[in-house]
Amino acid sequence: MPKLLFHEFELPLKHVFAISRGSIAVQPTLVVELTDGARHGFGEATTNAYYGATLAGMRASLEAVRHRIEAAADVEPSQFWSQVASHLEHDSFAQCALDQAAWDLWGKQQGVPLHSLWGLNVDDAPQSSFTIGIDAIDVMVAKLHEAPGWPSYKIKLGGTNDLDVIRELRRHTTVPFRVDANCGWTVDEAIDKSRALVELNVEFIEQPLPANDWSGAHRLFVESALPIIADESCRREADVERCHGAFHGINIKLVKCGGLTPARRMIDRARTLGLRTMLGCMTESTVGISAVAQLLPLVDYADVDGAALLARDIASGVQVDRGLCYFPNAKGSGVCLLEAQ
């Protein structure tokens, strides 16, 4: 019978990372391990104040259903998710880490990488953007030069000088930008800025409005000069339907929706509705990045640079370098934990 284990880490960042809601220099994260004794599956969820995710909370959620997890963890992961999901629906972050670990272990038990298990070709994976957090403009320019060669850059906005930031960064590269305001704009502000940003080779705007501003989202959907991608407004599977007609696409993050199992269903539904799809990440280690990378051949855009922002990683697995994802010749998600705590 598989056993459930926890590992807590503090991930140091190369630079202080700031968005419209705040900043961090160190990212606490929880790695969940499922082991059958011979093989080890790993999954990850970071803490997040906006979503109320804490290390203690995630561990408590999982401890409360440990008996169910250890009794059911030897079944196929989508069935396992269904058996345990109703007991963890209040905590998608814990649910995500557990689901990732279950799939990693399952792939290792089956002797194949997850993407192969799902019939996916990693050559079809879109290249990832690189994220530059909010800072003084000269510091953002320095960060851009520190990470050359990426096919696109996601620029965090939501300050008082957003257009000045993009205009100055544009002087230093010709590659496309994607901008993310993390709920920091009003609808009028977003409409006005979209008209300026379209002239600055910006591909799309991610979550400019507060997550619950659906009337504003419907207006922006019609009046924006650029596509609008939902992030905070698209957490769970039911949100995909709601985003239809309010956004041009959705950013799926595993911690928001509860793992790989629901993420695959969200991608399928979004495609049916004609929504563009992106897979994103938090500032997480190679554990989480290796899991989400398995789904990349299914989507239009990738933003999976979380581990590239770290000063020190805790695992080996899928590596993201200048936008390209390098998949190891390994089973499951390909994760090997380098240190345990």
Mean pLDDT, residues 167-181 taken together: 98
- Give pLDDT, residue 74: 74
- Give pLDDT, residue 30: 98
| Cross-strand bridge partners of residue 332 | 113
- Give pLDDT, residue 340: 59
Quote helix, strand, coil % in the chain, to nearest 5: 40, 25, 35
Give the pLDDT band (50/70/90) at residue 186.
very high
The two structure tokens encoding residue 152? 């696109």
- Give pLDDT, residue 159: 85
Give the pLDDT band (50/70/90) at residue 75.
confident
CB atoms closer than 10 angstroms to residue 245: 14
Give the pLDDT band (50/70/90) at residue 1.
confident
Q: Identify the structural domains of the chain with CATH numbers, from first to last.
A: 3-115 (3.30.390.10), 121-333 (3.20.20.120)
CB atoms closer than 10 angstroms to residue 15: 16
Give the pLDDT band (50/70/90) at residue 2.
confident
Between the CA of residue 161 and those of 1, 6, 194, 224, 288, what are the distances in Å? Answer: 56, 42, 14, 20, 33
pLDDT in tens, 36-73: 999 999 999 999 999 999 999 999 999 999 999 998 86
**Does 13 have pLDDT greater than 90?**
yes
CA distance 249 to 214: 15
pLDDT in tens, 211-249: 999 999 999 999 999 999 999 999 999 999 999 999 999
CA distance 239 to 250: 10
Give the pLDDT band (50/70/90) at residue 20.
confident
Contacts of residue 18, Cβ cutoff 8 Å, sequence gap at least 6:
133, 134, 135, 156
- Give pLDDT, residue 21: 84
- Give pLDDT, residue 271: 97
Residue 139 region by backbone torsions, left for phi larger than 0, else alpha for psi between -120 and 50, else beta: alpha
Between the CA of residue 276 and those of 13, 99, 296, 337, what are the distances in Å? Answer: 30, 24, 13, 33
| DSSP per-residue letters across 66-106 | HHHHHHHTTS-HHHHHHHHHHHHTT-HHHHHHHHHHHHHHH
